[in-house]
Structure 1
Amino acid sequence: MTNHQGFFKRKLFMGVTIGAGIVFIIIGIVFWGGFNTAMEATNQEEFCISCHEMEENVFEEYKKTIHYANRSGVRATCPDCHVPKEWTHKIIRKIQASKELWHKALGSIDTPEKFDKKRLKLAQNEWRRMKANDSRECRNCHDFESMAVAYQKPRARKQHTNALQNGNTCIDCHKGIAHKPVHQLMDEEELEKLSAPNPDFAKPDATLRQPVNKKQQKLLDLSNNPPKSKVKMVPAQTNGADSNQSTSTNTASSATGFGIGWSDVPDREVTIFYPGQASMEWIFKGSEHGGKLPFKAGDRCVECHDNEAAEMGQKIVTGEKLEPQVIPDKRGSIAVKVQAAHDDEYLYMRYEWQDTSHTPVPFVDGGKMDPDNQVKIAMMFSDDNKSEEDDFTGSVMYSGRSGCWGTCHHDAKDMPDAPKQEDIDAYEQKDQIDMKQGIRKYLTESRTKVEVAGRRGKKRGGWDKLKTPEEIKEELDAGRYMDLIRHKAGTKESENGYILDDRIMTGGEEVLFNSSLENGLWVVELKRKLNSDKAGDIALDFDKLYNFGFAIHDDYTNGRFHHVSLGYKLGFDNDQADINAVKK
């Protein structure tokens, strides 16, 4: 017994006995166990929502998202996203959280009104934290190099690849995915700065995970080439029609192809969609359009959205986004078969799509915006030359990426920032172009300035920043315009003009159209000279590509209530072109 007592009284370090050391160890274990238990208790969702500020606000928002409920049953709870797993980072975050407890005691956010008033600042603090640590908590579950491309849409694959190469991190693009999207309240410059890539995060040699078996390869192939809708082709007949044919007709027998045999001409299905109030300025507002960064970096709209057009159109036409004036039961998209051919003198194009039942427009007397024309079709062209001064292809800014989208602005008629007629009447240059019916399509090249971001409450667009007539002529002579062709199937009118400072529907070389509706299918065919010296006409050379887009006003619609295509490349005997005109 004495020996045992002597053992425990033996001194180890600085006069501390073995017995005292054992007691300290036991106390330490108990303390550490209690501390760790308390730490883990504060890492539970139940603790996070134990105060009504969280339970009644952000938690209710989170419950509606895929992070709360999904097909796999894996739930990301509050601490999974907002508390680091590594001990050191966790302790730092807990110390920072003490400030939140202080404000809880002060009652700074104890009502929904107080919480919403501070919400943006609170969110910005969290975004900056996540940005600084390369979205560490996101990457606990998500990893670029583990993302199987076979299970992602083309848009996701494209943007994730860009993020890897450039140094973007998860939170740059995914703000507001679990809570109210308050980033939409931020100034555009501040948001762009917060979402800018960090070269330190870049992994230029890394890639997304490629298919590892036949199933994944099949899924990837299906994603890149989804099944096309079944559009029955109307057999095209030839009757040797020549350039003296009338400019338009709507009898089925006349849809003959101007002597072109279309049966062996390759076709491409293009899904055109209802755009609502999506403008060029909207594309450049990151808080509204997540594709702003890749678009600015040089990506074409079609690279991300070609297979999503029908889905986008349905969201917009039903008023889920970008459309305050819903037309009930209007279709959101149209699958159009597009064919192109040429000879030594002319370009020929053929469009075919299914007709639709009439859906009256509730905010127009009689339900028809244009009672004389059930269908109108318009198409635009611009060259695809590389600019030496700016980072875009085509003489028209951004036409290489967005096609004809650059003609649609936020201040055009029926758009969000359309000016009032009294403001138009007071504009000193109002007589320079036709503004009697509101602002129509125009190009950025025709304005001295176009407000893109709407900074400090400014209206977006540039309707009242017209260049002088002399400057407009310089732009026209330099080829900075969109060649515009339009056909009205009801009144049999065919027009050839251009868009620069306004939509001009005259002046171009005569174009010929056939149009018909038979057995529920519309067929429209175009015959256009390849070369013309008329103002506003683009000369088409066989060895070049051209930016191309088209729109269809169906069901007696007018103005912006049409269906539009993304921007495509038109070429001649060129398999790399999106729309390839073959020699006949």
Structure 2
Amino acid sequence: MKRTMIAGAVGAALALGAGAAVAAAPADWSKVASKDITLFYPGVSPLEWINKGTEHGGARALKKGETCADCHHEETADMGKKMASGQKIEPSPIPGKAAFIPVKVQAAHDGENLYLRFSWKQPAASGGAKMDDKNPVKIAFMLESGGKVELANQAGCWATCHADSRTMPGAAETKTKYVKGGSLAEGKFYDLHQWRSGEKKAYDGYVADKRVMEGGKALVSADGKQNGDTWTVVFARKFAGGEGDVALEAGKVYNFGFAIHDDSASGRFHHVSLGYKLGIDTKADITAAKQ
């Protein structure tokens, strides 16, 4: 089915399932509060690495309940520089790979739909191969509810990143992201939404015992545009959903993280955020207020 274009907001809506409501994003995003979050190149730093005290000094802090953002929020750019250059935990550095990407994040809702807006400047191209030549840019975000996934409250999406996942050194290409003990039935999963620039297509899936890119019912639309050297991507997502969708409610806080695959990157060669909190009408790192 065709969906109405929301001028200056969501843009051309994507038909993601019959019966999905047409969403109207804020007409003036300049009036919506923003949060500056720096994504960084993570190198080979899976969950197993951050939990290993002999390799990662923050492992002890994690065991005490501190979050990754508590320690690293102000130094993500410097961390990215070390890893992109091959100075630390990157056995295969890519010449000219951007070390970090500053992103402005905004959130709002209308009582039925959540709107997330991401904007950033396109980094200079690297000298590496185009891993995904169909999609120069991909952006994805994940939500988790209640901290049922181990370390989700502290490490954000890192609970889906493992040493045996595809594109990790020596890993099988058939092994996707997953959650240890992941189970939709038990609520141990991440809700996953992704937009791809070349395909001009959005995906609504989840990560539990494996990653599934389609089948979700919550995503209404996603639209991305490049204006000069600046990208802007807006997602519209229903509060309610189906299997693999995190149900959203006003007054609650959710674990939130996002990533950008820049310069036709794929797999682990992306830029990632630390773990943050998204609140619906309540104080959090990022708050979606009703418009």
Aligned to 2:240: 531
The answer to whether the 8 A contact 1:373-1:490 is kept is yes
The answer to whether the 8 A contact 1:247-1:514 is kept is no
Matched residue SS, 1:403: helix
Report matched runs for 1:121-140 at 5 Å: none
Q: Measured at CA, do residues 327 and 241 of structure 1 come closer, stay the same or move farther in structure 2, by a change above 3 Å? A: closer
Name the CA distance, whole Å, in 1 between partners of 2:202 and 2:248: 20
AA aligned opposite 2:227: E
Is 1:578 the counterpart of 2:288? The answer is: no
Aligned to 2:54: 287
Matched residues, number: 279
The answer to whether the 8 A contact 2:221-2:235 is kept is yes
Q: Measured at CA, do residues 261 and 304 of structure 1 come closer, stay the same or move farther in structure 2, by a change above 3 Å? A: same
Matched residue SS, 2:83: helix
Name the CA distance, whole Å, in 2 between partners of 1:240 and 1:315: 39
Aligned to 1:339: 106
Report matched runs for 1:286-325 at 5 Å: 286-325=53-92
Q: Percent identity?
A: 45
Q: Measured at CA, do residues 244 and 398 of structure 1 come closer, stay the same or move farther in structure 2, by a change above 3 Å? A: same
The answer to whether the 8 A contact 1:360-1:368 is kept is no
Structure 1 position 241, deviation (Å): 6.6
Name the CA distance, whole Å, in 1 between partners of 2:70 and 2:32: 24
Q: Measured at CA, do residues 318 and 353 of structure 1 come closer, stay the same or move farther in structure 2, by a change above 3 Å? A: same
The answer to whether the 8 A contact 2:13-2:220 is kept is no
Deviations 1:192-232 (A, max 9, x none): xxxxxxxxxxxxxxxxxxxxxxxxxxxxxxxxxxxxxxxxx
Segments of structure 1 that go 5 or more residues without pairing to the other structure are: 1-237, 249-256, 362-366, 386-393, 420-436, 447-474
Name the CA distance, whole Å, in 2 between partners of 1:511 and 1:489: 17
Matched residue SS, 2:184: helix
The answer to whether the 8 A contact 1:494-1:511 is kept is no
Q: Measured at CA, do residues 241 and 288 of structure 1 come closer, stay the same or move farther in structure 2, by a change above 3 Å? A: closer
Is 1:376 the counterpart of 2:144? The answer is: no
Aligned to 1:14: none
Give 1:516's match in structure 2, choosing from 225, 243, 252.
225
The answer to whether the 8 A contact 2:165-2:177 is kept is yes
Name the CA distance, whole Å, in 2 between partners of 1:505 and 1:406: 17
The answer to whether the 8 A contact 2:14-2:220 is kept is no
Structure 1 position 349, deviation (Å): 0.7
Give 1:246's match in structure 2, choosing from 14, 19, 32.
14
Matched residue SS, 2:258: strand
Structure 1 position 243, deviation (Å): 9.7
Greater strand share, structure number: 2
The answer to whether the 8 A contact 1:544-1:571 is kept is yes
Structure ranking higher on relative contact order (CA contacts 8 Å, 6+ apart): 2
Report matched runs for 1:398-413 at 5 Å: 398-413=151-166
Aligned to 1:270: 37
Report matched runs for 1:478-489 at 5 Å: 478-489=186-197
AA aligned opposite 2:229: G
Aligned to 2:117: 350
Report matched runs for 1:159-558 at 5 Å: 239=7, 245-246=13-14, 258-361=25-128, 367-383=129-145, 385=146, 394-419=147-172, 437-446=173-182, 475-509=183-217, 510-532=219-241, 534-558=242-266
Deviations 1:447-486 (A, max 9, x none): xxxxxxxxxxxxxxxxxxxxxxxxxxxx311211010111
Name the CA distance, whole Å, in 2 between partners of 1:403 and 1:320: 25
Q: Measured at CA, do residues 413 and 345 of structure 1 come closer, stay the same or move farther in structure 2, by a change above 3 Å? A: same
Name the CA distance, whole Å, in 2 between partners of 1:242 and 1:518: 15
Structure 1 position 507, deviation (Å): 1.1
Q: Deviating runs (4+, > 6 A) in structure 1?
A: 240-244
Name the CA distance, whole Å, in 1 between partners of 2:15 and 2:226: 17
Name the CA distance, whole Å, in 2 between partners of 1:282 and 1:303: 18
Matched residue SS, 1:331: coil
Report matched runs for 1:94-109 at 5 Å: none
Deviations 1:384-436 (A, max 9, x none): x3xxxxxxxx01111000011000001112224525xxxxxxxxxxxxxxxxx
Name the CA distance, whole Å, in 2 between partners of 1:267 and 1:546: 17
AA aligned opposite 1:559: G
AA aligned opposite 1:442: Y
Name the CA distance, whole Å, in 2 between partners of 1:550 and 1:242: 19
Name the CA distance, whole Å, in 2 between partners of 1:240 and 1:321: 42
Structure 1 position 260, deviation (Å): 3.4
Greater helix share, structure number: 1
Matched residue SS, 1:477: coil
Matched residue SS, 1:293: helix
Structure 1 position 351, deviation (Å): 0.4
Name the CA distance, whole Å, in 1 between partners of 2:189 and 2:236: 21
When Rg is computed on C-alpha atoms for both structures, the one with the higher figure is: 1
User: CA RMSD of the aligned region, Å?
Assistant: 2.0
Name the CA distance, whole Å, in 1 between partners of 2:140 and 2:229: 21
Deviations 1:74-100 (A, max 9, x none): xxxxxxxxxxxxxxxxxxxxxxxxxxx
AA aligned opposite 1:521: T
Structure 1 position 292, deviation (Å): 0.7
Name the CA distance, whole Å, in 2 between partners of 1:301 and 1:344: 31
Structure 1 position 263, deviation (Å): 1.1
AA aligned opposite 1:529: K
